[in-house]
């Protein structure tokens, strides 16, 4: 067994259990930004309205959530890094950049569906090969550079991969894998788990 695979198995056994939360919810989203630029978010980051982030009252920080505007079907993936909203009846507060992606700047609020990407069924992962990465490096639309991902498929042992960059906006996929990995994986039953951030 390769050392990388041994490391993947060790990290899986040692990783703390993730909080279980409902897979999807619907409600009203709002957006925030004016007056918050440069201030600290609840997890200690500097708020940047140009990033795809959001505030939620209970989801763990760094949770990735797909937010779909139910008025127009547009969707965006955001990372939870703040707490809120603190207005009754709202379930998520988006950064300006995220609100722009789903066309709700003008209205200020919109009915949305939230989906936790960590609970996405295997068939929901859109994967393609790329010549931009090799070895065990990948590009991801849903994860941050530096994060370690554990990929499991039906016909192979778990693989530990490292996110080294973002999927280009021109590509409509979630993960870009090196050719050798793409050809070796059973993509029909692919599961992806975030292990840690470097």
CATH classification of the domain holding 39? 2.40.40.10
46, two tokens? 């500097």
Same domain, 146 and 124: yes
Which of 45, 29, 24 has its CA nearest to residue 101?
29
Same domain, 126 and 156: yes
What range defines the domain where residue 89 resides? Answer: 24-117
Can you tell me whether residue 108 is helix, strand or coil?
coil
Q: Could you tell me if 173 and 128 are in contact, meaning their C-beta atoms sit under 8 angstroms apart?
A: yes
pLDDT value, residue 104: 97
62, two tokens? 């760094």
Same domain, 193 and 149: yes
Q: In DSSP terms, which residues pair with 69 in a beta bridge?
A: 112
Same domain, 65 and 125: no
Rounded distance between C-alpha atoms, residue 139 and residue 174, angstroms = 8
pLDDT value, residue 187: 64
Q: Which stretches in the chain have pLDDT values below 50?
A: 1-22, 197-198
Q: Specify the DSSP element, H or E, that contains 4.
A: helix 3-14
Q: Is the dihedral of CA 93, 18, 164, 68 positive or negative?
A: negative
pLDDT value, residue 118: 61
Query: Domain holding 137: CATH number?
Result: 2.40.40.20
Same domain, 107 and 171: no
Q: Which of 67, 82, 117 is the last residue of a domain?
A: 117
pLDDT value, residue 33: 83
Residue appearing with tokens 């709700």: 104
pLDDT value, residue 75: 87
pLDDT value, residue 152: 73
Same domain, 78 and 111: yes
Same domain, 152 and 113: no
Same domain, 90 and 163: no
136 domain residue, yes or no: yes
Q: Is 108 left (phi over 0), alpha (psi -120 to 50) or beta?
A: left
pTM of full prediction above 0.75: no
pLDDT value, residue 158: 79
131 domain residue, yes or no: yes
Rounded distance between C-alpha atoms, residue 102 and residue 110, angstroms = 9
Q: How many domains does the chain have?
A: 2
Same domain, 99 and 158: no
Q: Could you tell me if 152 and 122 are in contact, meaning their C-beta atoms sit under 8 angstroms apart?
A: no
Which of 24, 56, 34 has its CA nearest to residue 105?
34
Q: Which of 117, 152, 180 is the last residue of a domain?
A: 117
Residue appearing with tokens 């993509």: 187
pLDDT value, residue 62: 78
Which of 117, 131, 133, 135 has its CA nearest to residue 174?
117
> How long is the chain?
198
């Amino acid at each position: 067994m390769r050392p990388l695979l041994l490391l993947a198995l060790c990290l899986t056994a040692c990783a703390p259990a993730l909080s279980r939360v409902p897979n999807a919810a619907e409600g009203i989203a709002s957006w925030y930004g004016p007056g918050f630029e440069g201030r600290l978010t609840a997890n200690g980051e500097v708020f940047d309205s140009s990033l795809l982030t959001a505030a939620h009252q209970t989801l763990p920080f760094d949770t990735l959530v797909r937010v779909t505007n139910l008025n127009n079907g547009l969707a965006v993936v955001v990372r939870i890094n703040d707490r809120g909203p603190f207005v009754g009846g709202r379930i998520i507060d988006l950064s300006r950049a995220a609100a722009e992606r789903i066309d709700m700047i003008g209205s200020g609020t919109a009915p949305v569906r939230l989906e936790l990407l960590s609970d996405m069924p295997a068939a929901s992962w859109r994967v393609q090969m790329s010549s931009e990465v090799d070895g065990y490096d990948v590009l991801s639309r849903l994860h941050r550079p530096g994060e370690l991902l554990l990929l499991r498929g039906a016909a192979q042992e778990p693989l530990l991969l490292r996110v080294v960059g973002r999927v280009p906006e021109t590509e409509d996929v979630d993960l870009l894998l090196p050719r050798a990995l793409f050809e070796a994986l059973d993509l029909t039953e692919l599961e992806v788990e975030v292990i840690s951030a470097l």
